[in-house]
Protein backbone atom coordinates (compact mmCIF):
# COMPACT_ATOMS: atom_id res chain seq x y z
CA UNK A 1 0.00 0.00 0.00
CA UNK A 2 2.86 2.33 0.91
CA UNK A 3 4.54 1.69 -2.42
CA UNK A 4 1.30 2.40 -4.24
CA UNK A 5 0.87 5.65 -2.26
CA UNK A 6 4.42 6.79 -3.02
CA UNK A 7 4.00 5.91 -6.69
CA UNK A 8 0.77 7.99 -6.96
CA UNK A 9 2.37 10.87 -5.08
CA UNK A 10 5.32 10.87 -7.47
CA UNK A 11 2.95 10.97 -10.45
CA UNK A 12 1.05 13.91 -8.95
CA UNK A 13 4.32 15.78 -8.32
CA UNK A 14 5.50 15.00 -11.82
CA UNK A 15 2.23 16.30 -13.33
CA UNK A 16 2.34 19.46 -11.23
CA UNK A 17 5.94 20.07 -12.34
CA UNK A 18 4.95 19.50 -15.97
CA UNK A 19 1.98 21.91 -15.62
CA UNK A 20 4.20 24.55 -13.99
CA UNK A 21 6.76 24.08 -16.77
CA UNK A 22 4.06 24.44 -19.42
CA UNK A 23 2.70 27.58 -17.74
CA UNK A 24 6.25 29.01 -17.56
CA UNK A 25 6.92 28.19 -21.24
CA UNK A 26 3.62 29.84 -22.23
CA UNK A 27 4.35 32.93 -20.14
CA UNK A 28 7.82 33.42 -21.61
CA UNK A 29 7.05 32.38 -25.19
CA UNK A 30 7.01 34.98 -27.96
CA UNK A 31 5.92 32.47 -30.58
CA UNK A 32 3.35 33.97 -32.95
CA UNK A 33 3.94 37.55 -31.75
CA UNK A 34 4.51 40.43 -34.13
CA UNK A 35 6.94 43.35 -33.70
CA UNK A 36 8.03 46.58 -35.30
CA UNK A 37 11.61 47.53 -34.43
CA UNK A 38 12.54 50.95 -35.79
CA UNK A 39 16.14 51.34 -36.97
CA UNK A 40 16.99 47.64 -37.07
CA UNK A 41 19.87 47.53 -39.54
CA UNK A 42 22.65 48.57 -37.17
CA UNK A 43 23.67 48.68 -33.54
CA UNK A 44 21.14 48.14 -30.78
CA UNK A 45 18.14 47.88 -33.15
CA UNK A 46 19.88 45.15 -35.16
CA UNK A 47 20.55 43.14 -32.00
CA UNK A 48 16.91 43.55 -30.86
CA UNK A 49 15.62 42.36 -34.26
CA UNK A 50 17.77 39.21 -33.98
CA UNK A 51 16.83 38.61 -30.34
CA UNK A 52 13.08 38.83 -31.04
CA UNK A 53 13.29 36.85 -34.29
CA UNK A 54 15.28 34.17 -32.43
CA UNK A 55 12.29 33.77 -30.10
CA UNK A 56 9.96 33.22 -33.07
CA UNK A 57 8.58 36.76 -33.37
CA UNK A 58 7.58 38.00 -36.84
CA UNK A 59 9.57 41.22 -37.03
CA UNK A 60 9.28 44.19 -39.37
CA UNK A 61 12.02 46.81 -39.28
CA UNK A 62 12.92 50.04 -41.04
CA UNK A 63 15.92 52.21 -41.88
CA UNK A 64 16.81 54.95 -44.37
CA UNK A 65 19.62 53.17 -46.22
CA UNK A 66 17.94 50.78 -48.67
CA UNK A 67 21.04 48.80 -49.68
CA UNK A 68 21.97 48.13 -46.05
CA UNK A 69 18.39 47.12 -45.30
CA UNK A 70 18.43 44.65 -48.21
CA UNK A 71 21.79 43.22 -47.05
CA UNK A 72 20.36 42.67 -43.57
CA UNK A 73 17.17 41.06 -44.94
CA UNK A 74 19.27 38.65 -47.04
CA UNK A 75 21.40 37.72 -44.01
CA UNK A 76 18.34 37.21 -41.82
CA UNK A 77 16.69 35.04 -44.46
CA UNK A 78 19.79 32.82 -44.47
CA UNK A 79 19.47 32.51 -40.69
CA UNK A 80 15.85 31.39 -41.13
CA UNK A 81 14.27 34.42 -39.42
CA UNK A 82 10.75 35.65 -40.29
CA UNK A 83 11.63 39.23 -41.13
CA UNK A 84 10.51 42.03 -43.41
CA UNK A 85 11.62 45.62 -43.79
CA UNK A 86 10.79 48.99 -45.30
CA UNK A 87 12.77 52.06 -46.18
CA UNK A 88 11.47 54.83 -43.94
CA UNK A 89 12.85 58.03 -42.49
CA UNK A 90 11.39 57.93 -39.00
CA UNK A 91 11.76 61.69 -38.67
CA UNK A 92 9.11 62.23 -41.37
CA UNK A 93 5.41 62.38 -40.41
CA UNK A 94 4.16 61.01 -43.76
CA UNK A 95 6.79 58.25 -43.94
CA UNK A 96 5.82 57.10 -40.44
CA UNK A 97 2.17 56.91 -41.52
CA UNK A 98 3.13 54.93 -44.62
CA UNK A 99 5.25 52.51 -42.59
CA UNK A 100 2.43 51.83 -40.15
CA UNK A 101 0.05 51.10 -43.04
CA UNK A 102 2.53 48.49 -44.27
CA UNK A 103 2.85 47.02 -40.77
CA UNK A 104 -0.92 46.90 -40.42
CA UNK A 105 -1.42 45.00 -43.65
CA UNK A 106 1.50 42.61 -42.95
CA UNK A 107 0.27 41.71 -39.45
CA UNK A 108 -3.53 41.87 -39.99
CA UNK A 109 -3.78 45.05 -37.88
CA UNK A 110 -2.33 43.30 -34.79
CA UNK A 111 1.01 44.41 -33.38
CA UNK A 112 2.28 42.77 -30.18
CA UNK A 113 5.48 44.78 -29.71
CA UNK A 114 6.64 48.25 -30.76
CA UNK A 115 10.32 49.03 -30.18
CA UNK A 116 10.98 52.75 -30.58
CA UNK A 117 14.71 52.44 -31.17
CA UNK A 118 15.55 55.09 -33.80
CA UNK A 119 17.66 57.84 -32.32
CA UNK A 120 20.58 60.04 -33.22
CA UNK A 121 23.00 62.40 -31.54
CA UNK A 122 24.94 65.44 -32.74
CA UNK A 123 27.26 65.96 -29.85
CA UNK A 124 27.89 69.72 -29.40
CA UNK A 125 27.90 72.37 -26.70
CA UNK A 126 24.51 74.07 -26.34
CA UNK A 127 25.52 77.42 -27.82
CA UNK A 128 26.68 75.68 -31.03
CA UNK A 129 23.38 73.86 -31.68
CA UNK A 130 21.53 75.35 -34.66
CA UNK A 131 17.78 75.50 -35.16
CA UNK A 132 18.16 72.60 -37.59
CA UNK A 133 20.06 70.54 -34.94
CA UNK A 134 17.21 71.21 -32.55
CA UNK A 135 14.44 70.05 -34.90
CA UNK A 136 16.59 67.10 -36.06
CA UNK A 137 16.86 65.72 -32.52
CA UNK A 138 13.21 66.40 -31.68
CA UNK A 139 11.81 64.81 -34.85
CA UNK A 140 14.21 61.82 -34.90
CA UNK A 141 14.28 60.92 -31.22
CA UNK A 142 11.06 62.18 -29.66
CA UNK A 143 8.40 62.97 -32.24
CA UNK A 144 9.03 59.66 -34.04
CA UNK A 145 8.58 57.62 -30.85
CA UNK A 146 5.48 59.63 -29.89
CA UNK A 147 3.84 59.38 -33.31
CA UNK A 148 4.74 55.68 -33.83
CA UNK A 149 3.13 54.93 -30.45
CA UNK A 150 -0.03 56.84 -31.44
CA UNK A 151 -0.23 55.08 -34.80
CA UNK A 152 0.44 51.67 -33.23
CA UNK A 153 -2.14 52.08 -30.44
CA UNK A 154 -5.11 50.41 -32.21
CA UNK A 155 -2.93 47.51 -33.38
CA UNK A 156 -1.37 47.03 -29.93
CA UNK A 157 -4.82 47.15 -28.31
CA UNK A 158 -6.14 44.59 -30.79
CA UNK A 159 -3.68 41.95 -29.50
CA UNK A 160 -5.06 42.23 -25.95
CA UNK A 161 -1.50 42.45 -24.54
CA UNK A 162 0.56 45.07 -26.38
CA UNK A 163 4.03 46.24 -25.45
CA UNK A 164 5.97 49.40 -26.21
CA UNK A 165 9.66 49.69 -25.42
CA UNK A 166 11.42 53.03 -25.77
CA UNK A 167 15.18 52.88 -26.25
CA UNK A 168 16.07 55.85 -24.14
CA UNK A 169 19.50 56.54 -22.59
CA UNK A 170 21.21 57.22 -19.28
CA UNK A 171 21.53 60.69 -20.83
CA UNK A 172 17.83 61.14 -20.04
CA UNK A 173 18.41 60.40 -16.36
CA UNK A 174 21.91 61.67 -15.51
CA UNK A 175 23.48 65.06 -16.24
CA UNK A 176 26.19 65.75 -18.81
CA UNK A 177 28.05 68.84 -19.95
CA UNK A 178 27.33 68.35 -23.71
CA UNK A 179 24.47 67.33 -26.03
CA UNK A 180 21.72 69.07 -24.09
CA UNK A 181 19.10 68.59 -26.84
CA UNK A 182 19.80 64.86 -27.16
CA UNK A 183 19.60 64.48 -23.37
CA UNK A 184 16.33 66.46 -23.26
CA UNK A 185 14.73 64.18 -25.89
CA UNK A 186 15.73 61.10 -23.87
CA UNK A 187 14.39 62.62 -20.64
CA UNK A 188 11.11 63.36 -22.42
CA UNK A 189 11.03 59.82 -23.76
CA UNK A 190 11.30 58.43 -20.22
CA UNK A 191 8.36 60.59 -19.15
CA UNK A 192 6.39 59.53 -22.23
CA UNK A 193 6.91 55.88 -21.27
CA UNK A 194 5.58 56.59 -17.76
CA UNK A 195 2.53 58.45 -19.07
CA UNK A 196 1.59 55.87 -21.68
CA UNK A 197 2.01 53.09 -19.10
CA UNK A 198 -0.72 54.83 -17.06
CA UNK A 199 -2.92 55.99 -19.92
CA UNK A 200 -2.96 52.74 -21.91
CA UNK A 201 -2.94 50.24 -19.02
CA UNK A 202 -6.71 50.08 -19.52
CA UNK A 203 -6.06 48.70 -23.00
CA UNK A 204 -3.59 46.16 -21.58
CA UNK A 205 -0.69 47.92 -23.26
CA UNK A 206 2.53 48.12 -21.27
CA UNK A 207 5.08 50.87 -21.88
CA UNK A 208 8.65 50.74 -20.63
CA UNK A 209 11.90 52.53 -21.33
CA UNK A 210 15.33 50.93 -21.43
CA UNK A 211 18.08 53.45 -20.72
CA UNK A 212 21.47 52.13 -21.88
CA UNK A 213 24.81 53.67 -20.99
CA UNK A 214 27.56 53.72 -23.60
CA UNK A 215 27.06 50.86 -26.08
CA UNK A 216 29.59 49.83 -28.74
CA UNK A 217 27.81 50.83 -31.97
CA UNK A 218 28.68 53.05 -34.95
CA UNK A 219 26.86 55.91 -33.23
CA UNK A 220 29.10 55.46 -30.19
CA UNK A 221 32.22 55.35 -32.41
CA UNK A 222 31.34 58.84 -33.70
CA UNK A 223 31.28 60.36 -30.19
CA UNK A 224 34.03 62.60 -28.86
CA UNK A 225 36.82 60.54 -27.15
CA UNK A 226 36.90 62.71 -24.02
CA UNK A 227 33.15 62.25 -23.50
CA UNK A 228 33.41 58.50 -24.15
CA UNK A 229 36.33 57.96 -21.77
CA UNK A 230 34.53 59.97 -19.09
CA UNK A 231 31.48 57.71 -19.47
CA UNK A 232 33.56 54.53 -19.40
CA UNK A 233 35.39 55.64 -16.25
CA UNK A 234 31.96 55.72 -14.49
CA UNK A 235 31.22 52.12 -15.49
CA UNK A 236 32.07 49.39 -12.98
CA UNK A 237 32.87 46.97 -15.86
CA UNK A 238 35.26 49.54 -17.39
CA UNK A 239 33.97 48.99 -20.93
CA UNK A 240 31.13 49.91 -23.26
CA UNK A 241 28.14 47.60 -23.27
CA UNK A 242 27.35 45.36 -26.24
CA UNK A 243 24.18 45.77 -28.34
CA UNK A 244 23.25 42.14 -27.45
CA UNK A 245 23.31 43.05 -23.77
CA UNK A 246 20.64 45.71 -24.40
CA UNK A 247 18.64 43.36 -26.64
CA UNK A 248 18.44 40.67 -23.97
CA UNK A 249 17.06 43.23 -21.51
CA UNK A 250 14.41 44.37 -23.99
N1 LIG B 1 25.16 53.56 -28.74
C2 LIG B 1 25.02 54.11 -27.54
O3 LIG B 1 26.02 54.31 -26.81
C4 LIG B 1 23.65 54.43 -27.03
C5 LIG B 1 23.51 54.68 -25.64
C6 LIG B 1 22.26 54.98 -25.14
C7 LIG B 1 21.17 55.02 -25.97
N8 LIG B 1 21.31 54.76 -27.29
C9 LIG B 1 20.10 54.84 -28.13
O10 LIG B 1 19.92 53.59 -28.76
C11 LIG B 1 19.27 53.79 -30.03
C12 LIG B 1 20.06 53.09 -31.12
O13 LIG B 1 21.37 53.65 -31.12
P14 LIG B 1 22.60 52.92 -31.89
O15 LIG B 1 23.82 53.35 -31.19
O16 LIG B 1 22.30 51.48 -32.06
O17 LIG B 1 22.53 53.69 -33.28
P18 LIG B 1 23.17 53.30 -34.71
O19 LIG B 1 24.25 52.29 -34.54
O20 LIG B 1 23.50 54.60 -35.36
O21 LIG B 1 21.96 52.62 -35.49
C22 LIG B 1 20.80 53.37 -35.73
C23 LIG B 1 19.81 52.57 -36.54
O24 LIG B 1 18.66 53.39 -36.75
C25 LIG B 1 18.51 53.70 -38.15
N26 LIG B 1 18.11 55.10 -38.24
C27 LIG B 1 18.76 56.20 -37.80
N28 LIG B 1 18.05 57.31 -38.07
C29 LIG B 1 16.92 56.89 -38.70
C30 LIG B 1 15.80 57.54 -39.22
N31 LIG B 1 15.68 58.88 -39.18
N32 LIG B 1 14.82 56.81 -39.78
C33 LIG B 1 14.91 55.46 -39.84
N34 LIG B 1 15.96 54.77 -39.37
C35 LIG B 1 16.95 55.48 -38.79
C36 LIG B 1 19.89 53.42 -38.78
O37 LIG B 1 19.79 53.07 -40.17
P38 LIG B 1 19.92 54.20 -41.33
O39 LIG B 1 21.13 55.00 -41.00
O40 LIG B 1 20.02 53.43 -42.61
O41 LIG B 1 18.66 55.00 -41.27
C42 LIG B 1 20.33 52.22 -37.93
O43 LIG B 1 19.70 51.04 -38.38
C44 LIG B 1 19.15 55.30 -30.19
O45 LIG B 1 17.86 55.72 -29.80
C46 LIG B 1 20.20 55.85 -29.25
O47 LIG B 1 19.89 57.15 -28.81
C48 LIG B 1 22.53 54.47 -27.84
CA distance 30 to 165: 15
Q: Which residues line ligand 1 (CB under 6 A)?
A: 39-45, 62-65, 68, 88-91, 117-120, 140, 167, 169, 212, 214-215, 217-220
User: Ligand 1: which of 46, 59, 83, 119 to mutate, judged by most atoms within 8 Å of the beta carbon?
Assistant: 119
CB 51 within 8 A of CB 44: no
For 65, 133, 140, 185, the CA distances from 121, given in Å and listed in that order, are: 18, 9, 9, 10
Q: If you average pLDDT over every residue of the chain, what do you get?
A: 93
CB 118 within 8 A of CB 169: no
Q: What would the mean pLDDT of 153-182 be, rounded to a whole number?
A: 96
Residues taking part in catalysis: 182
pLDDT, tens digit (0-9, with 9 covering 90-100), for 30-61: 999 999 999 999 999 999 999 999 999 999 99
Residue 2 pLDDT > 70, yes or no?
A: no
- Give the pLDDT of residue 178: 87
CB 219 within 8 A of CB 193: no
Q: What percent of the chain has pLDDT over 70?
A: 94
CA distance 12 to 188: 52
Amino acid sequence: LNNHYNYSRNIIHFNLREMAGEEQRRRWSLQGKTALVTGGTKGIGHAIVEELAGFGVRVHTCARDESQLNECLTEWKKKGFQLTGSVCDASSWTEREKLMQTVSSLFDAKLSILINNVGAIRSKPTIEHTAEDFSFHISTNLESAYHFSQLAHPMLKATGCGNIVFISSVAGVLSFSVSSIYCATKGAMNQLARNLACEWAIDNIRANAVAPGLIATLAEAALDDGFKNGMISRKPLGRSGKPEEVASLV
